């Protein structure tokens, strides 16, 4: 068997309890990475029901350990700088280094038109989806810088980091904001060989979209829409004939950008959006 | 098991540089190759272009990987020749899955000194040549129930304005427009279309005295070493240029299953030239 593309590397993944975060942990571990995973494992303002649990995060650990890789976790809110920074430092001490950070944790928010949006709902989304990404990157940089071998930071934005959507202004603004953070950070860190890119998925089959609230948003005409009822509406957003993509499709982009394959890719807004924003 | 086992890729400008690297890298992953290159000199280009011997070397390297390759000497300005080469390759290799429109030239002059001949050759090769390369492949990709992937090689000059290459910049921006239309037209057939945007790549297109002199007008005979710092000054990362393999890895990511829902993307492999 050939050496994995992430052999000897340690990656930080936020929101690692389930969904895309878990998928990134597994995909990178398959390529040899050890993983530091963090998740709030509880209710978060603007987040979807059901909440991520400690059992979810434990399941991610079991999957990574099943691949014979090490995984260290800490339970923290990405918006709590002191707790997050301390948890990361402790985890890096255990695994010895940090090469890559994937700022994946995020919430969907509550849909409102701007004129009807409570300012607290706006703040909740901005806090996790933008400030939390900033805190994640800020905490990770010193550890990646420490070994002098460069590294890769991936900020998970969205197709909505490139396009607007009615009733989604807070999410859209936060995901656009991530691009500004990415661009500035890419310039700041290029001399150190640390690359920074954003990833812009279309809808991904995770609990963030597969929930009754989101189904109702897409099919307001139905009292209790299910997955089959929303398929066509989701599909209509994309150019390619697919309603949503799998978490692993985003993980493949993470892998390409985190590994040596992307060693000179920085400052990119990389879309995995089935053509949504090319229409 | 390779990522492109059983697939067939059509690559233009395959005699050397990025094109050869793509042919070899995709063949390493199991693809058979249809390769074309003009292997001819062009009056407005003042560095040596590829030769039939270069193309033969690409053939040798692909065959050394135990993959099949159908190679032909075809200029991307020759639409009929491209159609014939694609049809012949598909007839012999049985299918088409991947297209990499890579062939291109460079020449340098401020806009007010650009000749008609230099402008026309550039647009003919770097823009119209991309269209003419892709056009005959569409029918074969449509016939493929698995769809396919098209990669158009643009440049950082397809994303920003760069002095002394107005014609190159216009052509490379045009390639982006072509990509966006093709992505829309072909999505329903599961055919994905993306552009790649390299910074300077270590190939004969930039590793020649004409290009060196542009970067070091103070020297009479500047060398690769003389221009390294100036080239590095273009990038945000502390590297003067990237390797052909870095571009091939981007192509591989986009055309294999890893990129199965990636279409309409302009992917920079530019060491941060555009973001800085």
- pLDDT one digit per residue (tens) for chain A, 279 residues: 468 999 999 999 999 999 999 999 999 999 999 999 999 999 999 987 789 999 999 999 999 999 999 999 999 999 999 999 999 999 999 999 999 999 999 999 999 999 999 999 999 999 999 999 999 999 999 999 999 999 999 999 999 999 999 999 999 999 999 999 999 999 999 999 999 999 999 999 998 899 998 999 899 999 999 999 999 999 999 999 999 999 999 999 999 999 999 999 999 999 999 999 999
Question: What pLDDT sits at residue B214?
Answer: 87
CA distance A92 to chain B (A): 26
**A189, B275 Cβ separation under 8 angstroms:** no
Distance between CA atoms of residues A154 and A133, nearest Å: 10
Helix axes A247-258, B244-255, angle to 10 degrees: 180
User: Does A252 sit within 8 Å of B253, measured CB to CB?
Assistant: yes
CA distance A9 to A258: 10
d(CA B14, CA B60) in angstroms, rounded, equals 12
Residue with tokens 């709590």: A80
Annotation says A171 is catalytic: yes
Please state, in angstroms and rounded to a whole number, the distance separating the CA atoms of residues B8 and B92.
Answer: 11
| Residue where the block lists tokens 């300005």 | B77
Enumerate residues 201 to 220 of chain A having a beta carbon within 8 A of any beta carbon in chain B: 202
CATH 3.40.50.720 fits B8-269, yes or no: yes
Per-residue confidence (pLDDT) for residue B167, from 0 to 100: 98
Instruction: Specify the pairing of strand A269-272 against strand B8-12.
Output: unpaired
Q: In this structure, what DSSP letter does residue A4 have?
A: P
Size of interface A-B (CB pairs under 8 A): 118
- Closest residue to A270, CB basis, from B183, B242, B267: B267
A267 touches chain B (CB under 8 A): yes
Cβ-based burial of A219 (10 A; exposed 0-12, middle 13-18, buried ≥19): middle
Q: Residue B17 has which token pair?
A: 């540089």
Task: Identify the burial level of B105 via C-beta atoms within 10 angstroms of its C-beta, where 0-12 means exposed, 13-18 middle and 19 or more buried.
Answer: buried
Alpha-carbon gap, residue A173 to A125, rounded angstroms:
9
Distance CA A126, CA A173 (A): 8
User: According to the model, what pLDDT value does residue A2 have?
Assistant: 62
Locus of tokens 């026309």:
B120
Each domain of chain A, given as residue ranges in start order, spans: 10-204+247-272, 210-243
Contact state of A277 with B236 under an 8 Å Cβ cutoff: no
Half-sphere exposure (Cβ direction) of A36: Cα atoms closer than 13 Å: 29
Alpha carbon of B160: minimum distance to chain A alpha carbons (Å): 14
Short-list A61, A79, A84, CA closest to A126:
A79
Specify whether the CB–CB gap between A243 and A206 falls below 8 A.
no
Q: Considering only CB atoms, which chain B residues are within 8 Å of A202? A: 261
Q: CA-nearest residue of chain A to B147? A: A240
Q: What is the pLDDT of residue B198?
A: 98
What's residue A50's pLDDT? 84
Choosing among 3.40.1050.10, 3.90.1300.10, 3.40.50.720, 3.90.1170.50, the CATH entry for A10-204+247-272 is: 3.40.50.720
d(CA B61, CA B55): 10
Q: Do A278 and B269 touch (CB under 8 A)?
A: no
Q: Which helix (H) or strand (E) holds A103?
A: strand A100-103
Query: Contact at 8 Å (CB) between B37 and B50?
Result: yes
| Cβ-Cβ contacts under 8 Å, B265 against chain A | 270-271
What are the residue ranges in chain B where pLDDT is below 70? none
């Amino acid at each position: 068997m050939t050496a994995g593309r992430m052999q000897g590397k340690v990656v930080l993944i936020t929101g690692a309890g389930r969904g895309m975060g878990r998928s990134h942990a597994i995909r990178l571990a398959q390529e040899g990475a050890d993983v530091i995973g963090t998740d709030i494992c509880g209710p978060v303002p603007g987040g979807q029901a059901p909440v991520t649990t400690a059992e979810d995060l434990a399941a991610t650990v079991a999957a990574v350990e099943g691949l014979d890789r090490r995984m260290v976790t800490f339970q923290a809110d990405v918006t709590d700088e002191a707790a997050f920074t301390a948890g990361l430092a402790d985890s890096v001490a255990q695994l010895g280094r940090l090469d890559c950070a994937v700022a994946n944790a995020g919430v969907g928010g509550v849909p409102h038109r701007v004129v009807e949006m409570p300012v607290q709902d706006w703040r909740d989304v901005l806090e996790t989806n933008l400030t939390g990404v900033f805190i994640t990157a800020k905490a990770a940089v010193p550890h990646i810088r420490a070994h002098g071998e460069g590294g890769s930071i991936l900020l998970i934005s969205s197709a909505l980091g490139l396009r607007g959507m009615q009733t989604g202004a807070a999410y859209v603004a936060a995901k656009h904001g991530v691009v500004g953070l990415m661009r500035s950070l890419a310039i700041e860190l290029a001399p150190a060989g640390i690359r920074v890119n954003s990833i812009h998925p279309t809808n991904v089959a995770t609990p963030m979209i597969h929930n009754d609230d989101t189904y109702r948003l897409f099919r307001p005409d139905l009292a209790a829409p299910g997955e089959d009822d929303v398929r066509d509406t989701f599909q209509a957003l994309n150019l390619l004939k697919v309603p949503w993509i799998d978490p692993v499709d985003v993980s493949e982009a993470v892998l390409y950008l985190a590994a040596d394959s992307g060693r000179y890719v920085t400052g990119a807004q990389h879309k995995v959006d089935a053509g949504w924003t090319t229409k | 098991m390779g990522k492109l086992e059983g697939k067939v890729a059509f690559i233009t400008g395959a005699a050397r540089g990025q094109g050869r690297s793509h042919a070899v890298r995709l063949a390493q992953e199991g693809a058979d190759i249809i390769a074309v290159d003009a292997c001819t000199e062009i009056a407005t280009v003042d560095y040596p272009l590829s030769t039939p011997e270069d193309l033969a070397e690409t053939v040798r390297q692909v065959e050394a990987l135990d993959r099949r390759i159908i190679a032909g000497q075809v200029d991307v300005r020759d639409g009929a020749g491209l159609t014939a080469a694609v049809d012949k390759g598909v007839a012999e290799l049985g299918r088409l899955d991947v297209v990499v429109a890579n062939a291109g030239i460079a020449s340098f002059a401020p806009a007010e000194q650009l000749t008609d001949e230099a402008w026309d050759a550039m647009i003919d090769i770097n823009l119209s040549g991309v269209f003419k390369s892709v056009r005959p492949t569409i029918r074969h990709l449509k016939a493929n129930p698995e769809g396919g992937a098209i990669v158009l090689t643009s440049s950082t000059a397809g994303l920003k304005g760069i002095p002394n290459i107005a014609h190159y910049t216009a052509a490379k921006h045009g390639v982006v427009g072509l990509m966006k239309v093709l992505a829309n037209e072909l999505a329903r057939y599961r055919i994905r279309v993306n552009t790649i945007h390299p910074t300077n790549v270590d190939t004969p297109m930039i590793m020649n005295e004409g290009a060196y002199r542009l970067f070091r007008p103070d020297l009479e005979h500047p060398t690769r070493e003389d221009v390294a710092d100036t080239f590095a000054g273009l990038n945000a990362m502390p590297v003067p240029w990237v390797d052909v393999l870095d571009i091939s890895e981007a192509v591989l990511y986009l055309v294999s299953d890893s990129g199965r829902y990636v279409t309409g993307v302009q992917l920079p492999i530019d060491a941060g030239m555009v973001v800085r």
